[in-house]
Chains A and B, each alone.
Chain A
Amino acid sequence: MMRFLTSIFLGAALMAAPAAAQNTPLRIEITEGVIEPLPFAAPDFVPDTPAAAQYATQIARVVAADLTGTGLFREIPANAYISQVSSFDAPVQFADWKAINAQALVTGGVSVSGNTLTVRFRIWDVFSDTELGNGLQFTGTTDGWRRMAHKVADQVYSRITGEGGYFDSRVVFVSESGPKNERRKRLAIMDYDGANVQYLTDSSSIVLAPRFSPAGDRVLYTSYESGTPRIYVLDVGAVQRNVLPTQEGTMSFAPRFSPDGRNVLYSLARGGNTDLYLMDINSGQSRQLTNAPSIETAPSYSPNGSQIVFESDRSGTPQLYIMPANGGEPRKISSGKGRYGTPVWSPRGDLIAFTKQSQGRFHIGVMRTDGSEERLLTASFLDEGPTWAPNGRVIMFTRESPGAEGRATLYSVDITGRNLRPVRTPDGASDPAWSPLQK
């Protein structure tokens, strides 16, 4: 679907830049809970040819939007600039950027040849008078210009925070329309920031909870297409779907890929009882992982595939448990008052995000994998279904408003509970799943 090739010349620095000073002040520690965003400037990139002009401006705008969207950065508006950047290779006038307190500066050049777009950029630590890392160059197609902008922003974010980036990623979700008692749902995919929405199914049957494969090329989801909930696997590029085998008289739902992409972990309800199963996606053979009269659902793998976190009401209320990936004795990790659900293991392995229902409110929270240090990040009438950004620092989830006019929307929040913000979608939206970082 997206023909897009990006070459990254990591080794080939654009010029021999002086080594960054050891005492660089240009650093954000995300886990500290940043209060004051870091001021930066991202002047329009410099076009090499007239055909590159529109991209040069738009790419700088997307880079700036990515950075400010994190809440960690604050853009200094162009009308405050003293210097203009008229050539990508001209020396940076550090004094002019210091004067307006731009601690970081992103400069870039754009050239277009046919439908090939090349973006060069540098990141400057203004108060150290140095370049931060080396300049890079990305090449792709013109219709992939937003992805190139996201890649530039990922580099800026990554070099300043020391964390992996997450802007060059996508989100698959359920697009919702119609009133609450006649809601229509269809699968959709978009860039992480809400751009480039594409629909993957029609709304003739209920679809729920899509999940990306580890490579981001396939999506598992639950559909009522056959009249009963079954699991489908969809090839994102070809937009072709296949139903997974099931057993007569059962319902299958809550699927998730194993980290190697070969197996599907899911819930199967038979005779009113829901347990966890594992299916080899090639052979279609399933085996049962839990066998209890309680509800076992919403499973999620640890990043190394050795453990599974899931939700069970074996203690009387839904709580979170971890067990070995092949089954075995589960260990309860949630300990607070309330009902816990939809646990999702962070891609970094350090935290588990979850939904918590307590005293008539819903929260998105995180806890360590041993259940300690529970932190609630949000509170509302109904928040649920967290999904992790590829760097494990931001969570997206569904927020539903109450009442007859109730509507579902997507929100994101970072793991310190800061920077809660809506994600723009054309219609109502629920059940987001964040892709891995694109290659």
Chain B
Amino acid sequence: MKVSSKLAALGLVLAVAACTNNSPFAAGGGAGGAGANGSVVPGSPSDPRSPAYFQQAVGDRVLFPVNESTLTDAAKTTLQAQADWLLQNTDYAARIEGHADEQGTREYNLALGARRANAAREFLISRGVAGNRITTVSYGKERPIEICSQEACYAKNRRAVTVLVANVTG
């Protein structure tokens, strides 16, 4: 999780850098949580319009069974929440990153990750998110977040992660 958080944070920085001025997600981004007086700190996980909120409260990732790209009920619930969030926060676009566990060849896992990312993308589109706001990429087995060679780790590595980026589609 640490690594993916860093990557997401980096994505946020890039998104900020890509935007010119006074965009809603350019503010804040420092220490998370509510302010001392209980108010919402913009950009913190308590700010429902923040990428941090999307990542933690909505849930930025869905997991897949071994060798599969079909969405589980839990995955559909998460993606529905992602779709709702994206429909309300049109300053953002999404890049969905598909991943596989290490059991499988490099080439097949690249293709499998592409299937998984696309399954998530198709679901978001079916819930009303414009297709031109969602790109996909597969990392195959190149970017595991958990490094043990047991199912407990594999289960977390078989994932599609929705990364927020600046919406440049207008």
- Could you tell me which A residues sit within 8 Å of B by CB distance? 179-183, 206, 208-209, 227-229, 249, 251, 253-254, 267, 269, 271-274, 295, 297-298, 311, 313, 317-318, 339, 341-342, 355, 357, 381-382, 384-385, 400, 402-404, 406, 431
B105–A183 touching, CB < 8 Å: no
A357→B103 contact, CB < 8 A: yes
Contact, CB under 8 Å: A318 / B147: no
Rounded to whole angstroms, the CA-CA distance of A342 and B111 in the bound complex is 13
The answer to whether A253 and B110 touch (CB under 8 A), given A272-B117, A385-B105, A404-B148, is yes
Alpha-carbon gap, A399 to B148, bound state (A): 17
Contact indicator A181/B144 (Cβ below 8 Å): yes
Within 8 Å of chain A (Cβ to Cβ): is B26? no
Q: Please provide the 9 A-B residue pairs with the shortest distance between their CB atoms, ordered closest to farther.
A: A272-B118, A402-B149, A341-B105, A274-B111, A269-B114, A295-B111, A180-B147, A298-B107, A404-B147
Contact of A311 among B69, B108, B137, B146 (CB under 8 A): B108
Cα–Cα, bound, A355→B116 (Å): 23
**From B121, which residue of chain A is reached at the shortest CB distance?**
A272
Can you list 22 A-B contacts with CB-CB less than 8 angstroms, sorted by A residue number?
A181-B143, A206-B139, A208-B142, A209-B106, A229-B137, A251-B110, A254-B110, A267-B110, A271-B118, A272-B118, A272-B121, A272-B136, A273-B118, A295-B112, A295-B115, A311-B105, A339-B104, A341-B104, A384-B106, A385-B105, A406-B149, A431-B106
- Residues from chain B with a CB closer than 8 A to the CB of A313 are 108
Render B91-132 as a binary contact track against A, CB cut-off 8 A, 1 for contact: 000000000001111111011101111110110000000000
**B82 contacts the other chain (CB 8 A):** no
Residue contact A209 to B147, C-beta cutoff 8 Å:
no
B149 and A403 within 8 A (CB)? yes
Kindly supply a per-residue 1/0 record for chain B positions 63-107, scoring 1 wherever the CB is within 8 Å of any chain A CB and 0 otherwise: 000010100000000000000000000000000000000111111
- Among A206, A317, A318: residue with most chain B CB under 10 A: A318
Choose among B69, B121, B135, B147 the residue with the greatest number of A CB atoms under 10 Å from its CB. Answer: B147
Distance (Å) between the CB of B46 and the closest chain A CB?
29
Instruction: Mark interface residues in B130-166 (1 if CB within 8 Å of A CB, else 0).
Output: 0000011111001111111100000000000000000
Q: How far is the CB of B66 from chain A (nearest CB, A)?
A: 11
Q: Are A229 and B110 in contact (CB under 8 A)?
A: yes
Q: Are A179 and B147 in contact (CB under 8 A)?
A: yes
B119 touches A297 (CB 8 A): no
Are A249 and B135 neighbours in the complex by a CB distance under 8 Å? yes
Known: A229-B138, A272-B118, A272-B119. A253 touches B145 (CB 8 A): no
Asked whether B3 is an interface residue with its Cβ less than 8 Å from the other chain, the reply is yes
The answer to whether B138 and A251 touch across the interface, beta carbons within 8 angstroms, is yes
B107 with A253: CB separation less than 8 A: yes
Contacts of B105 in A (CB 8 A): 298, 311, 318, 341-342, 355, 357, 384-385
Which residues of B have CB within 8 Å of A254?
A: 107, 110
Cα of A252 to Cα of B135 in the assembled complex, Å: 15
Nearest CB on A from B9, distance (A): 15
Q: Give Cα distance in the complex from A274 to B103, angstroms.
A: 19
A228 close to B137 (CB less than 8 A): yes
- Which residue in chain A gives the minimum CB-CB distance to B117? A272
**Cα A298 to Cα B107 with chains together (Å):** 6
**Are B104 and A272 in contact, CB atoms less than 8 angstroms apart?**
no
Q: Of B3, B106, B121, B143, which is within 8 A of A385 by CB?
A: B106
CA separation between A384 and B109, bound complex, in Å? 12
User: How far in angstroms is the closest Cβ of chain B from A254?
Assistant: 5
> B residues within 8 A CB of A403?
147-149
Closest to A318 in B: B108
A347 to chain B, nearest CB (A): 21
Residues of B within 8 A of A182 (CB): 3
Given contacts A182-B3, A400-B102, A402-B149, contact A297 B107 (CB under 8 A): yes
Partner of A181, one of B108, B114, B136, B147: B147
Q: Are B108 and A297 in contact (CB under 8 A)?
A: yes
Contacts of A298 in B (CB 8 A): 105, 107-108
Shortest Cβ distance from residue B103 to the other chain A in the assembled complex, whole angstroms:
7
Interface core residue of B69, B110, B111, B114 (most chain A CB under 10 Å): B111
Residues in B whose Cβ lies below 8 Å from that of A181: 3, 143-147
Say how far B112's CB is from chain A's closest CB, in angstroms: 7
Give the residue name and chain of the B residue nearest to A272 (CB). B118
Question: How close is A421's CB to chain B, nearest CB, in angstroms?
Answer: 22
The contact of B138 among A269, A318, A385, A404, by CB within 8 Å, is: A269
Given contacts A295-B111, A341-B108, A385-B106, 16 further A-B contacts (CB under 8 A): A229-B110, A253-B110, A295-B108, A295-B112, A295-B115, A298-B105, A298-B107, A313-B108, A341-B104, A342-B106, A381-B149, A382-B102, A403-B147, A403-B149, A404-B148, A431-B106
Residue on B nearest A381 in the bound complex, by CB? B149
Q: How far is the CA of A5 from the CA of B136 in the complex (A)?
A: 49
Q: Is the CB of A311 within 8 A of B107?
A: yes
Closest chain-A Cβ to B138's Cβ sits at a distance in Å of: 6
Residues of chain B with a CB closer than 8 A to A209's CB: 106-107
CA distance A238 to B167 in the complex (A): 40
Pick the residue among A272, A400, A404 that contacts B115 (CB under 8 A): A272
Complex contact A406–B147 (CB within 8 A): yes
A317 to B143, CA, bound (A): 23
| Chain A positions within 8 Å of B122 at CB level | 272
